[in-house]
Amino acid sequence: MTNNENVKKAGAPEEITQNDVRKSYLRWHFANEIPHSFERYLAPSLLYGMMPILRKLYKDDEQLKAAYKRQLLFFNTQLTWGGGVITGLMSSMEQERARQEYNNEEITMTDDLMYNTKAGLMGALAGIGDAIDSGTIQYIFIAIAVPWAQEGSAMGALFPFIAFALYQFAMGLFFAKQGFSMGRNATSLMESAGIKTMIDLLSILGLFMMGVLAGNYITVTSSLSFDISGREFVIQEILDKIVPGLLPLATVMGVYLYYTKKGLKVTQALLWLTGILIVLAAIGIL
């Protein structure tokens, strides 16, 4: 939308505060998947989150409608890393847009600039967020809670959900506030040495925890044994002396290699794995 100098402005834009940004993110957070649609994906959730801010910025009905349409274009990203940064960033950019329109200045904060910024970030930040949150953090919480679950404690079931929800809640608010404070330079937060170090550390910790889970909670043993000169050799005992947990590791790596070759076809992998294990058990290897 170009600047419409003929539109009479009913009043100046109100100042957007960190509290407004916090409320905006909370609305996005809790409405994230509710209005999910094929045409716009999560754009209705983003617009719902930003509506109070847009109402403070645009006092003219036509400008407000234009802002609604601007934020209702196709949008899809991860809840906290993408949603948090972009919610704050769009609030900052809309604030500048409203100021330019009110003062009849040249509109540098154009529709294309705002959407291209949003579109450029939503995929990249979603990739980071999914890898860190869904691929690392939640499994760390699960690994912590598994022993409690095995002991019959309800905390074993509740802790991962509660801890992960609180973690995402806190991270989303942090990124929203940072995105608003830094404006269009919010991407520098993702490129900072501290964030990169945190991502590397969490990735290493996540791999470590996945190894712990595989070693302790995946049980594959061999029942194969044979006699040589009257002495019995049990394959599992020999493997345990050489590399403890070798068979569970081989099983996990086999599934991983299948995914790398065939793609993430979980059902097919489970069927193949079940069939192979049944055959090996039938012939006495496992």
Residues 254 and 235: their CA atoms lie apart, in Å, by 20
Task: Give the whole-angstrom CA distance, residue 168 versus residue 174.
Answer: 10
**pLDDT tens profile 51-105:** 999 999 998 888 999 999 999 888 988 899 989 999 998 998 898 888 888 888 8
Low-confidence ranges of the chain (pLDDT < 50): 1-9, 186-187
The amino acid at 34? I
Model pLDDT, residue 195:
56
Q: What was the pLDDT predicted at 6?
A: 42
The tokens for 190 are: 């993702």
Q: Residue 106 has which token pair?
A: 């040249």
**CB hemisphere CA count around 117 (13 angstroms):** 24
Q: Is the pTM of this model over 0.75?
A: no
What's the pLDDT score for residue 196?
60
Residue 90: its H or E element: helix 81-102
pLDDT at 206 (0 to 100): 59
- Taking residue 264's Cβ as centre, other Cβ atoms within 10 Å add up to 9
* Percent composition of the chain: helix, strand, coil (DSSP 3-state, to 5): 70, 5, 25
